[in-house]
Amino acid sequence: MKKGIVIKSTGSWCTVKTESGEKYECKLKGNLRMKGIRTTNPVTIGDVVSFEILKETGREVGLINTIQDRRNYILRKASNLSKESQILAANIDQVYLIVTINHPVTTTLFIDRFLVSAEAYRIPVNLVFNKIDIYSPEDLEKLEELNSTYQKIGYKTFNISLKTEENVPQLVESMKGKINLLSGHSGVGKSSLVNYIDKDLELKTSSISDYHNKGKHTTTYSEMFHIENGNYYIIDTPGISGFGLIDMSKEEISHYFPEIFSLLGNCQFYNCTHVHEPGCAVKKGFQDGLISESRYLNYISIVLGDEGKYRLQ
């Protein structure tokens, strides 16, 4: 029996790297899929697994028997119509959510949905605003506003340009010694950042669609890379267009907005939804400027869904 970490996942097969550096193509033992885990990928990048070696058509392959308990993971709803979830990665130290104000547009609702999921599993998130070299004056004004909003509530932000390398060395320095997950929309520069860090990898990238101003999916599977200079790991993931939350009650959502959570004890009602009740400390915090408009509106959107915009009075 061998033990290793999953460094690549393409669906039914994954690549496992042992402590001695050996790599094996592995598949999942059938009964591991029958434990009621409602995910599209029972094994994910970062999982520590045990596997046995099999001889199959003249080559050695691994059969994964056990998956060690995860210290954390981050997941999203697989699609709007699906009740299953997709685990992006497990056992990670921090996430870098790559954001672009434009080319393509990343909405604050997408950012906040991602942050809620990460907060739920106590995974630190850094916001990386890329492509600052091509921003218009209006884009730069929006960038300043977003930096202020998220820094005030404790998130670290980086404003970078991979083209000019502005602030990129500081970003890379913050990754050293850790397991880092890169996430964000297609076209925001995840694979380009990995290529900057390790030019030998030469990951495939593509340009933005001019018609829709959206990224084209280039990375089709998740993969973990070990960067020897600094002894750290980077997990590159496929671009995600949406971020649906799962396994979370409406009452829990407020716990994962740090600036809202700090005010919860002052509400008049213990079961306050922070939308329409009198004596709500969160609504007062919003009115007093302690909570940004975008964050409060996104909270309502997440809790109430499509009806949220009609319930804000």
Given this model, what pLDDT does residue 246 score? 63
Dihedral class, residue 97 (left if φ above 0, else alpha if ψ from -120 to 50, else beta): beta
Output the pTM of the full model.
0.87
Domain boundaries, the chain: 2-67, 73-236, 250-311
Q: Which residue has the higher pLDDT, 149 or 191?
A: 149
Q: What is the pLDDT of residues 68-86, one digit of tens each?
A: 999 999 887 655 555 567 7
91 confidence band (pLDDT: 50, 70, 90): very high
Task: Give the residue, 51 or 243, on which the prediction is more confident.
Answer: 51
Check whether domain 73-236 has CATH 3.40.50.300, yes or no = yes
123 closest CA partner among 50, 189, 46, 185: 46
Which of the two residues, 300 and 313, has the higher pLDDT score? Answer: 300
Phi-psi region of 273 (alpha: psi -120 to 50; beta: other; left: phi over 0): alpha
Long-range residue pairs from 77-80, CB within 8 A, at least 24 positions apart, any chain: 77/243, 77/244, 77/245, 77/246, 78/39, 78/40, 78/244, 79/244, 80/242, 80/244
Rg of the chain over all Cα atoms, to the nearest angstrom: 21
According to DSSP, residue 116 is labeled: H
Domain 250-311 has CATH 1.10.40.50: yes
- 41 or 224, greater pLDDT: 224
| Residue indicated by tokens 């869904």 | 305
At the topology level of CATH, where does 2-67 sit?
OB fold (Dihydrolipoamide Acetyltransferase, E2P) (2.40.50)
Half-sphere exposure of 233 (CA within 13 A, CB side): 22
